[in-house]
Amino acid sequence: MSRKMLVIGEARDGALRNVTFEAIAAAAKVSDGGEIVGVLCGAENLEEMGQEMIYHGADRVVTIQNEKLNTYTSDGFGQAVMAVIEEEKPEGIIMGHTAIGKDITPKLASKLETGLISDAVEIEETGDNIVFTRPIYSGKAFEKKIITDGLMFATIRPNNIKALDRDDSRSGSVSAKEVDIADLRTVIQDIIRKTSDGVDLSEANIIVAGGRGVKSAEGFKPLEELADVLGAALGASRGACDAEYCDYSLQIGQTGKVVTPDLYIACGISGAIQHLAGMSNSKVIVAINKDPEANIFNVADYGIVGDLFDVVPKLTEQIKEIKV
Ligand code: FAD
């Protein structure tokens, strides 16, 4: 049965986040040939980003440009997206399971009086059903869910569903919609960024993470050098954040970010259950730890028992040589 799907796009610093393209791919799986309509809210650059959504598989994109959508608020974006939902009447909605996705989708689902499958890592068609797989108990188990009736509303975890190849021969309309946005109850005065310009942790393909074993803020330097040659993002355990070796924005785990990169290199991290909750679904895990009994080795695909201050610089040098 074909379904008309709505994909809520997400941008940062004037460019679409990759998870938007993954959400289009997820919608394509679910739509069974039905129309895929993108929606983009913001204050600038929407036409160009809408075109990118078309190149990545959307059939049509509706943009809502408004000064009140300059920065994300659930109030403003909620009103804008609701207006598109009411007009388009999709049979399904997909968005990334990002900070914004986690904030806005439950509110929309509640307004629409429908359910929501959040944080899907896999979507497959089995017989007449679309089956969504999502982690439970902090990633220790997975559950499979189907929607038997009504709107197929889901968020997808970044880095799990492969985006479709970009095809700039695809065509489709990008149309602007006027939405009268009522006065916002929340006004963003200023955004103070804690992270640097580096690769976004939640969408990174490679992560080099440090734990209390790095011993100081200075101890992160060799990890930063390794991350640089690999084009990786830097992450950390809560142990390292608590010890003030790095900012909490780098924390991975149960109370930090949940990541699923292709490669996760854990340096001086013991592998506490709360840390594993945020990274154990990474595709390949490399652990560097001087304690052969460290729990991290139980989830690692490759383990190096050694001092990270010896191992990491050697790794960086080797990778530099391979890359030359
Ligand atoms: P440690 O456990 O101290 O491990 C340091 C490791 O470094 C050791 O294995 C040691 O052998 C190794 N090491 C030391 N020196 C070297 C060296 N020179 N070379 C190589 N290896 C070396 N933790 C998280 O990470 N994320 C979370 O989101 C999180 N949420 C939590 C929520 C709750 C409610 C609670 C109670 C805890 C949470 N924690 C979380 C904390 C968690 O339980 C651990 O305390 C924390 O993960 C430990 O960090 P660590 O592995 O860096 O430090």
What tens digit of pLDDT does each residue of 135-193 get? 998 778 899 999 988 899 999 999 999 999 999 999 999 999 999 999 999 888 888 87
The span from the first CA to the last CA of the chain, in angstroms, equals 51
Residue 303, pLDDT above cutoff 60: yes
Provide CB contacts within 8 A for 28, sequence distance 6+. Answer: 5, 36, 57, 164
Closest protein CA for atom 28 of ligand 1: 253
Q: Separation of 27 CA from ligand 1 center, angstroms?
A: 38
**pLDDT attached to residue 139:** 79
- Is any atom of ligand 1 closer than 6 Å to the C-beta of 260? no
278 lines ligand 1 (CB under 6 A): yes
Mean pLDDT, the chain, whole residue set:
94
274 lines ligand 1 (CB under 6 A): yes
- Nearest atom within ligand 1 for CA of residue 271: 51
What would the mean pLDDT of 205-227 be, rounded to a whole number? 97
195 pLDDT more than 70: no
237 touches ligand 1 (CB under 6 Å): yes
The answer, yes or no, to whether residue 198 has pLDDT greater than 90, is no
* Confidence (pLDDT) at 194: 66
What pTM was estimated for this model as a whole?
A: 0.83
Calculate mean pLDDT across residues 52-79.
96
Question: What b/e sequence results for 179-191 when a residue is b if at least 16 CB atoms lie within 10 Å of its CB, and e otherwise?
Answer: bebeeeeeeeeee
Q: Is 212 in the pocket of ligand 1 (CB under 6 A)?
A: yes
Q: Which two tokens stand for residue 221?
A: 């330097």
* Average pLDDT estimate for 68-80: 95
Sheet-wide strand order for 233-236: 233-236, 206-210, 263-267, 284-289, 302-305
- pLDDT for 324 beyond 90: no
How many angstroms is it from 161 CA to the middle of ligand 1? 30
Q: Does the beta carbon of 92 lie inside 6 Å of ligand 1?
A: no
Going by C-alpha positions, the residue among 135, 90, 130 that lies closest to residue 112 is 90
Evaluated on CA atoms 256, 260, 262, 268, the torsion sign reads positive
Question: Where would I find the H helices in the chain?
Answer: 18-31, 46-55, 74-88, 99-112, 221-230, 238-242, 273-279, 308-323
Q: Is the CB of 20 under 6 A from ligand 1?
A: no
Q: Which amino acid is at 234?
A: L
CB 254 within 8 A of CB 138: yes
Interatomic CA distance for residues 210 and 296, integer angstroms: 12
Q: Is 9 in the pocket of ligand 1 (CB under 6 A)?
A: no
What distances in angstroms separate CA 107 from CA 2, 81, 115, 152, one per listed residue? 26, 11, 11, 15
For 182, residues 6+ apart whose C-beta sits below 8 A from its C-beta are 79
- CA dist 70 and 184 (Å) reads 12
Q: How many angstroms separate the most distant Cα atoms in the chain?
A: 61
Read off the pLDDT band of 320 (50, 70, 90): very high
Q: Is ligand 1 within 6 A of the CB of residue 294?
A: yes
Task: Give percent above pLDDT 90 in the chain.
Answer: 87
Task: Give distance in angstroms: CA of 102 to centre of ligand 1.
Answer: 27
Q: Is 270 in the pocket of ligand 1 (CB under 6 A)?
A: yes
Taking the centre of ligand 1 as the mean of its atom positions, its distance from the CA of residue 204, in whole angstroms, is: 21
Please tell me the distance between residue 133's alpha carbon and the centre of ligand 1 in angstroms: 29
